[in-house]
Structure 1
């Protein structure tokens, strides 16, 4: 469903009146800034150099970072799952898992090891939440990845439940190397371009920078307050 702005004209007229404007603007020109340093940060780095930047940032945000090839992804993911003590596991319903060669792992290997795995199913509604709450591991895929801050950007949709990334105790995020960009600036540009191309923006866009952290109380860092305690990024060399 596409969102619709309600009472826009009335709001703008009232705002213009409070600002003592003689007329109500019908169009706002985008300002042309003399300096745009946000575009220059890390702009000349290659994809390999952006990966190194991301890896360094992961050491600062308590996030395990593993690099693997597309061919070895299933084996790498299985090892991380074992290191995280298995299931229950919750995943998105995402065709990219099949494209990455994970069908055998999800359909045969994990069940044979008696590891319980559930896939987000929009037809069962809030029953998904009950499954996620009991999950030991949540597995998702990054749509855009910010090297500077070590941030995975996840777009929700009916098949990509947003709670899969933050209700389980442990989180595994698959990160295509091709998805890595310098920083928030490029993510905002990509999102804007998607809107301009007529794509529907996700109802929830999660920016995840490692496991949940909070130092609100007496500046004492506590991990896992609002989400997973443990986080692993699996970088897929898809270039």
Structure 2
């Protein structure tokens, strides 16, 4: 539902008057910048080179980074889940899990090991929150990944609960190698292109750079205040 803009014209006229303009402008030209360093950082790197940048940054943000093939993903995921203490687990409801060959892991292997797994279900509303609050691990997928800062960009939607990435004690984020871009600049460009193509974007876009860290009080670093204490990125070599 769109909102209504009230008193727009009078507000713009007042601004124009303060700027000593004779009339309010009818159109604003986008500025043409003479120097754009934001586009040159990590420019022309291959996906393998961007992956190397991401891996190095993960060591700085206390994030475990594992690279695996699509064929080995289920085995890798099972080991990461076991190493992180098993369930309860909350995962997004996402068709990409099926595309990555994780259906058998989620529906057979984990239940056989008595590892409790729940999938976010918009039909049950706040029952999801009760489950995710008790979860040991949250599993999500990065839509865009920023090599420079080691950031996973998650788009929420009815099947992608926002709390899955920050309420559990531990977080596993699947990162398709094809999703890796140099930095925030390219992520913003992708988001803008989606809007221009008429796509409806998420009401919430989370930029996650490793486990929760805060040093707001006396510059003492505390982990886990605003989200997971442990973070694992599983890079899927999908190229």
Give the structure 2 partner of residue 111 of structure 1. 111
After superposition, what is the alpha-carbon deviation per residue over 1:55-106, rounded to whole angstroms, capped at 9, x for unaligned?
0000000000000000000000000000011001001110000000000000
1:113-164 Cα deviation digits (max 9, x unpaired):
1111111111111111111101000000000000000000000011101110
The separation in 1 between residues aligned to 2:20 and 2:106, in whole angstroms, is 63
Cα distance in 1, alignment partners of residues 77 and 26 from structure 2? 53
Q: Which residue in the other structure is 1:165 paired with? A: 165
- 2:120 paired with 1:120: yes
Distance in 1 (CA, whole Å) between partners of 2:17 and 2:126 is: 46
Q: Aligned partners of 1:48 and 1:125: how far apart in 2?
A: 41
* Inter-partner Cα distance in structure 2 for 1:94 and 1:142: 12
Which residue in 1 is equivalent to 2:228?
228
Paired position in structure 2 for 1:15: 15
5+ residue gaps in structure 2? none
Q: 1:135 to 1:93 in 2, by over 3 A?
A: same
CA 1:101–1:5 in 2, change beyond 3 Å: closer, same or farther?
Answer: farther
Give the Cα–Cα distance (whole angstroms) in 1 for the partners of residues 134 and 11 of structure 2.
45
Separation in 1, partners of 2:193, 2:85: 41
Q: Please, what TM-score do these two structures have when normalized by structure 2?
A: 0.96
| Distance (whole Å) between structure 2 residues aligned to residue 69 and residue 92 of structure 1 | 21
Displacement of 1:5 in angstroms is 5.2
Q: Secondary structure at the match of 2:78?
A: helix
> SS of the counterpart of 2:172?
strand
**Which residue in the other structure is 2:5 paired with?**
6
> What's the counterpart of residue 142 of structure 1?
142
For structure 1, the 5+ residue unaligned runs are none
In 2, Cα distance between equivalents of 1:23 and 1:174: 53
2:196 maps to what in 1?
196
Instruction: Report the secondary structure of 2:210's partner residue.
Output: coil
Aligned residues: 238
- The residue aligned with 2:94 is 94
CA distance in 2, matches of 1:30, 1:169: 45
- Give the match's secondary structure for 2:132: helix
What is the Cα-based RMSD across aligned positions, in Å? 1.2
